[in-house]
């Protein structure tokens, strides 16, 4: 665990926190939840990969392929945002907004690269608490109640430590919120961006929510906001005081009271572990490849994926490979395995076969790969398959001979 000395937490505290009876006891009383939200994640990953992009308007795009400017903006750095670029807007509109800025950069989404960075980040965040929930590629919650009780001073220090550790490891900033539940922790993380740290104690919840427009409340969409305006509800405070029966009539017997609870800062949704669906790693090759000569470059990727699977107690039933061409196009292949595995040897062996097949199928296209990656999926906690069991038995015999 990564705690600074003045956080008054030691390894015994953490091991105690992992006991289900202790965790449940703390959750039944006062909770403290930390929300971690990576700032403009895709664009920031590109800035880390190429620091020269930091001072330029940078737009990450989902190109449709119809034309050079068709598609939508995935995200943008804050330089581009200040010039009006927003997620979801057509790429053509973003280019018009930035037409006078000759340094503007438009890049395609590099999902495999971002996923690889995300998996490392989530491992770091997970290391701070036994109760962890990944919400998306760039957001997560941890419940630290079992570790520190209801001490928000220590929670604030821990939130700062999380930020420092993420920056130390990945050179990425994040916004962190600390609150008495997931709702308030998330709203705290959204309150100050980028690189923010906001703490909302239980006695500060009402004052924090009171002046905010109702659209700022998580779960309130444009249609909900429009209907609330018709009811005379403009702020979160208005919603918190509104008649419950009238809200039920307007939004339904479940959703109406739910909105009122949220407006009062109430949220009993626990931080819960979600199943890991896939793991991937990707590497930039020493030089562009038109044949499969880079098996040794894949070995660390296979080893890293294997270590991660083993640490999670998982095996995979499917392996895929991805190649990014010199023209930044994606080529991929995948296969379903007969038995679940988590051996780095078998992951590498299957990946190598897929890359050989890929190059064979691309022989007439003269394609060169700039980046290569491995992805495993269909994850489960099943027992080792026959193939892997036989290999491990052979390795054991070799090591003991």
CA quadruple 260, 266, 269, 271: dihedral, nearest 10: 140
Give the span between the Cα atoms of 234 and 215, in whole angstroms. Answer: 9
Give the span between the Cα atoms of 138 and 115, in whole angstroms. Answer: 9
Crossing angle (nearest 10°) for helices 152-170 and 111-126:
140
Q: What does the DSSP 8-state code read for residue 270?
A: P
Q: What does the DSSP 8-state code read for residue 275?
A: P
Answer yes or no: are the C-beta atoms of 59 and 201 closer than 8 Å: no
User: To which residue do tokens 């896939």 refer?
Assistant: 278
User: To which residue do tokens 């600390």 refer?
Assistant: 178
Does an H or E element contain 308, and which? helix 295-312
Task: Give me the catalytic one of 47, 133, 139, 237.
Answer: 139
Q: Is 108 helix (H, G, I), strand (E, B) or coil?
A: strand
**Residue 184 burial (10 A CB sphere; 0-12, 13-18, 19+):** buried
Give all strands (DSSP E) within 188-298, no chain letters. Answer: 197-199, 278-289
Token digits for 11? 């390894």
Q: What is the DSSP string of 23-87?
A: HHHHHHS---EEEEEETTHHHHHHHHH-GGGTTS-EEEEEE-SSSTT-EEEEEE-HHHHTTT--T
Q: Is 8 helix (H, G, I), strand (E, B) or coil?
A: coil
User: To which residue do tokens 């959703």 refer?
Assistant: 255
> Catalytic: 386?
no
Strand order in the sheet with 58-63: 71-76, 58-63, 105-108
Neighbours of 254 (CB within 10 A): 9
Residues annotated as part of the active site: 139
């Amino acid at each position: 665990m990564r705690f600074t000395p003045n956080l008054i937490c030691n390894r015994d505290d953490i091991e105690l926190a992992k006991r289900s009876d202790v965790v449940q006891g703390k959750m039944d009383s006062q909770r403290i939840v930390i929300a971690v939200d990576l700032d403009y994640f895709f664009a920031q990953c590109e800035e880390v990969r190429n620091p020269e992009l930091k001072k330029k308007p940078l737009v990450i795009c989902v190109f449709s392929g119809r034309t050079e400017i068709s598609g939508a903006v995935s995200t943008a750095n804050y330089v581009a945002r200040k010039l009006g670029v927003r997620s979801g807007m057509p790429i053509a509109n973003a280019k018009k907004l930035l037409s006078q800025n000759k340094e503007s950069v438009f890049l395609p989404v590099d999902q495999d690269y971002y996923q690889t960075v995300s998996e490392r980040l989530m491992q770091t965040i997970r290391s701070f608490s036994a109760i962890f929930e990944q919400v998306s590629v760039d957001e997560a919650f941890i419940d630290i109640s079992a570790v520190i009780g209801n001490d928000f001073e220590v929670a604030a220090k821990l939130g700062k430590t999380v930020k420092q550790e993420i920056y130390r490891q990945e050179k990425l900033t994040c916004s962190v919120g600390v609150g008495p539940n997931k709702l308030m922790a998330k709203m705290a993380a959204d309150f100050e961006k980028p690189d923010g740290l906001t703490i909302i104690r239980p006695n500060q919840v009402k004052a924090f929510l009171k002046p905010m427009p109702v659209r700022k409340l998580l779960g309130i969409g444009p249609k909900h906001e429009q209907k609330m305006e018709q009811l005379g509800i403009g702020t979160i405070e208005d919603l918190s005081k509104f008649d419950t029966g009238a809200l039920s009539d307007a939004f339904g017997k479940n959703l109406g009271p739910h909105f009122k609870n949220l407006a009062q800062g109430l949220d009993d949704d626990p931080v819960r572990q979600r199943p890991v669906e896939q793991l991937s790693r990707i590497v930039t090759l020493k030089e562009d490849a038109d044949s499969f000569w880079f098996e040794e470059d894949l070995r660390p990727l296979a080893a890293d994926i294997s270590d991660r699977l083993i640490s999670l107690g998982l095996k995979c039933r499917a392996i895929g490979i991805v190649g990014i061409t010199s023209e930044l196009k994606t080529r991929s292949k995948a296969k379903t395995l007969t038995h679940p595995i988590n051996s780095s040897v078998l992951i590498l062996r299957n990946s190598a076969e897929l890359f050989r097949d890929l190059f064979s199928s691309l022989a007439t296209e003269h394609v060169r790969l700039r980046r290569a990656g491995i992805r495993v999926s269909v994850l489960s906690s099943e027992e080792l398959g026959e193939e892997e069991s036989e290999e491990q038995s052979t390795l054991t015999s070799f090591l003991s001979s």
